[in-house]
Structure 1
Amino acid sequence: MNGSPDPYRLVPGAPDSPVILHVPHSSRVVPAGVREGIVLDDAALERELDHITDSHTARIAAEAAALAANGPGRKEPWRFVNGLSRLVVDPERFPDEREEMRAVGMGAVYTRTTHGKPLRPDGHPEEPLIDRYFHPYAAAMTGAVARRLAATGRAVIIDVHSYPGERLPYELHGDGPRPPVCLGHDSFHTAPDLLAHAEKAFAGFGGTGVNSPFSGTYVPLKYYGTDRRVGALMIEIRRDVYMTEPGGPAGPGLHRVAAALAELVDAVTGAPPT
């Protein structure tokens, strides 16, 4: 839980691949200096990490990338992986996040747990965490997208997430369907063919849904709503599909998820069917 890893890492893929697999919530690492501002004891913090972490999604992305690199005409995607827990900062919550998320303590800097308990004390300053962790991450991700645009003329961000089988109290819109695979899309950045490719790739999991229980997808602010060369789609895998909840080990379903994700990468890059 403690340590000083890289706060994020960009893992190179094929020079002519437009795809970035973005993995923002897989880590459980909370640096010691950040831990000091969290009011949970160690046991409670571990339980919260079990619930809030998209466990094993970095492994899913890595396996998918390796599969997508294997074979003639296939192109390994790039990977942008958060090395820190979302309890440090959530890189997909912008500092001016809409009020409904801040109201439940789930803005860029979380102040409440998944069950509504205090995570940080009232009045805990957000700016030092935003300056140290959020802004550098956002700048690095923006740069990664810019380089894919320069190299290939387009960029496709595939956001790799997971979500619990049962609704957690912090979920404001969790009363809808909870399919094995939820596809989050954006009306500007998610082209119909990108969504169709994902529906086909994940068809074997017993059903996909769109924007339920989580909606939208991540695009750096520089490009959001202005540059259609940047495509984006969020993949939310229900955790019981590939792991033991909460926070337990991965099962054989992980390999099936990785293979489906690799199929989606192939479709996006135009690689021949395997």
Structure 2
Amino acid sequence: MPSFDLLPGDPGSPVLLHVPHSARTVPADVRAGIVLDDSALERELDHITDAHTAELAERAAELARVRPWRFVNRLSRLVVDPERFPDEREEMAAVGMGAVYTRTTHRGELRPADTDPEPLLARYFRPYARAMAEAVAGRLAATGRAVIIDVHSYPTEPLPYELHGAGPRPPVCLGTDAFHTPAWLAEAARAAFADTGGTGLDSPFAGTYVPLEFHGADARVAAVMVEIRRDTYMTEPGGAAGPGLDRLAGRLAALADAAAPR
């Protein structure tokens, strides 16, 4: 059974809402390799999960004039993090949070430091990467371009694992890439979220996800990351969503529609 879903949108839409970090599910055999007890694991999931972002993307798709496609991870990022580089390019590996995490958000032990990542990469990371690349290729074939909107959230206060947590933490952080985020897309994102209390660029999180086979190579693939500060829509950490979720879904829908007709 796939650990992710590609949920179809309008055949003519180039937009793909990517939701990589919304789930809390950890399969039992993967759980066996995690050293935390059950209560500590639940606390870690509270901190590391981008709670309710799959629901946010679903509501946005329903509200959009041109329904975007959605690619949703159904497993926790504690299984594998599909957005990390699986090699030495990944800066988060310095704190034990490469594609397969060995440390927690508070820099405690999650897995033994000598854990071999290869079985998890083979079982989960690479199939996910292939499927996401195929989803992007599908939008390129259908429309001549693809726009990835990477849907995330982040805590109001920095967590110890953050490498760049000292900078601004606006209500909405927009992560950009010099190659894949054209000026029109950055401006559309700023405009869409202008009434949410403020947007910022690349702080506390920078960059955006593009499948490796297109990364830095195919300018037809545009991308922007939307990082929503959690106090704007939920009770932290790991609590229920509030009324802010619907308002933000409307803003995400507006961004999807701004990206669709170009």
Please state which band the TM-score falls in when normalised by the shorter chain: over 0.9
- Corresponding residue for residue 209 of structure 1: 200
Shift of 1:97: 4.5
1:198 and 2:189 matched: yes
- Corresponding residue for residue 14 of structure 2: 18
Distance 1:213 1:107 in 2: 18
- Corresponding residue for residue 32 of structure 2: 36
Shift of 1:94: 1.5
Checking the alignment, whether the CA contact within 8 Å between 1:97 and 1:107 is kept in structure 2 is: no
1:51-92 Cα deviation digits (max 9, x unpaired): 000000000000000001xxxxx3100000000000000000
The normalised TM-score by structure 2 is 0.98
Structure 1 segments (4+ residues) deviating >4 Å:
none
1:129-172 Cα deviation digits (max 9, x unpaired): 00000000000000000010000000000000000000000001
Shift of 1:123: 1.1
- Corresponding residue for residue 59 of structure 1: 55
Distance 1:149 1:165 in 2: 36
1:47 and 2:38 matched: no
For structure 1, the residue ranges without an aligned partner over 5 or more in a row are 69-73
> Identity rate of aligned residues, in percent?
71
1:138 alignment partner, SS class: helix
For structure 2, the residue ranges without an aligned partner over 5 or more in a row are none
Cα 1:255–1:99 change in 2 (3 A) is: closer
Cα 1:99–1:27 change in 2 (3 A) is: closer
Distance 1:99 1:26 in 2: 21
Counterpart AA for 1:113: T
1:18-64 Cα deviation digits (max 9, x unpaired): 00000000000000000000000000000000000000000000000
1:157 and 2:130 matched: no
1:139 and 2:130 matched: yes
Distance 2:237 2:72 in 1: 21
Alignment match of 1:8 (pick from 4, 25, 29): 4
2:63 alignment partner, SS class: helix
Distance 2:90 2:236 in 1: 30
- Corresponding residue for residue 71 of structure 1: none
Alignment match of 1:80 (pick from 47, 53, 71): 71
Cα 1:101–1:37 change in 2 (3 A) is: same
1:129 and 2:114 matched: no
Distance 1:47 1:220 in 2: 30
- Corresponding residue for residue 270 of structure 1: 261
Question: RMSD of the TM alignment (CA)?
Answer: 1.0
Counterpart AA for 1:266: D
Distance 2:90 2:218 in 1: 26
2:170 alignment partner, SS class: coil
Checking the alignment, whether the CA contact within 8 Å between 2:47 and 2:105 is kept in structure 1 is: yes
- Corresponding residue for residue 221 of structure 2: 230
Counterpart AA for 2:42: E
- Corresponding residue for residue 98 of structure 1: 89
The normalised TM-score by structure 1 is 0.94
1:91-139 Cα deviation digits (max 9, x unpaired): 0002114363112011000000000000001211110000000000000
Between the two proteins, the alignment pairs up a number of residues equal to 262
- Corresponding residue for residue 89 of structure 1: 80
1:20 alignment partner, SS class: strand
